Chains A and B, each alone.
Chain A
Amino acid sequence: MSDEFRKGLKDGVPIALGYLSVSFSVGIMAVSGGLSVFQGALMSLTNVTSAGQFAGIQIIAAGGTILELILTQFIINLRYALMSLSLSQKLSEKMTLWQRLVVAFANTDEIFAVAMSHQKSLTFPYMVGLQSLPILGWTLGTILGAVAGGILPKPLGNALSVALYGMFVAVVVPVAKKVRPVLIVVIIAAVLSCVIYYVPIFSGISAGISIIICTAVAAGLGAVLFPVEEEGE
């Protein structure tokens, strides 16, 4: 086992634990939406995305059309395109096309967050290690949720559900502390996100679209106001 792979595995542990808890609710929802345990597990294994799956299950349960499904998935998951674009700049130049095809599979919010906070350029063994346990956790949690319903006591579930947010904080805060422009764009994104969430006229904007708007507007303002001269790392 290479060092890079082992490091990836280790960095993936907290993500996998967080996923175990989140995907639990995906499993419960899948079964109540009319999917079998196997179908729920298959969806998690092949999609590895929370918001997209939540929406997909709702559409399946409501008997929606394929076109509706495609549009929803596209909009909700569009943020991954931004993340992949960002990630592609950080991948080792030595990575081959087929390795990139593999690495693209589970570029989730959390894996992206950890990958971007990695100090060096990203190698294939590291990325495979990083993705392995979260994919396993995500699928396993879905199966557990689908099979066992309320197996996890509520207080424990509540506590685990902030694990992912804690990781986001661990990625954003240290950089915002040191780099003033990052602090400013982060504040812009936070304010914008809260405005869209709380101000009634924006209530028609879904969570997925809100993320796209906040991400693009705040990062766009950052690029115009504080262009990074050389490699911003």
Chain B
Amino acid sequence: MIYVYIAVMAIVTYLIRMIPLTVFRKKIENKYIKSFLYYVPYTCLTAMTLPAVFYATGSLASAAAGMAVAIILALKERSLVTVAAGACVTVFVVEQVLHVMA
């Protein structure tokens, strides 16, 4: 029975991803729809990051520090890997420091 649940989940998820990718093969001409789709990645990623990132680590402080470093590196237009690694290292270091201080 669990396999049926897994299959249903996989099918629903795939259809949601697949239909908009195959049906809309012609370039969209409408200015407003194009604009909406242009903004979607940025608003979606932002909504997923804030405020969730602050609760992703062991403490609010380490998460905030990691986020701050990521933003600084991104403002300097460093690569994806550098920004992500900078955030990780910062969280790790801050948590170690907090641990020692505690």
Q: Which residues of A contact B (CB under 8 A)?
A: 11, 13-14, 18, 34-35, 39, 42-43, 46-49, 52-53, 56, 59-60, 66, 69-70, 73-74, 77-89, 91, 97, 100-101, 103-105, 107, 109, 112-114, 116-117, 154-156, 158-177, 181-182, 185-186, 188-190, 192-194, 197-198, 207, 210-211, 214-215, 218-220, 222-224, 226-229, 232
Contact = CB atoms under 8 A, between A and B. Distances in A.
Contacts of A175: 42
A211 B47 contact: yes
Interface string B28-66: 100111111111111111111111110011100011001
A168 B49 contact: yes
Interface residues of B, number: 76
Interface of B: 2-10, 12-14, 16-22, 24-25, 27-28, 31-53, 56-58, 62-63, 66-67, 70-71, 73-75, 77-89, 91-92, 95-96, 99
A173 B75 contact: yes
13 contacts: A47-B13, A60-B5, A77-B13, A78-B16, A83-B17, A89-B28, A101-B22, A158-B56, A159-B88, A161-B57, A162-B63, A163-B87, A168-B45
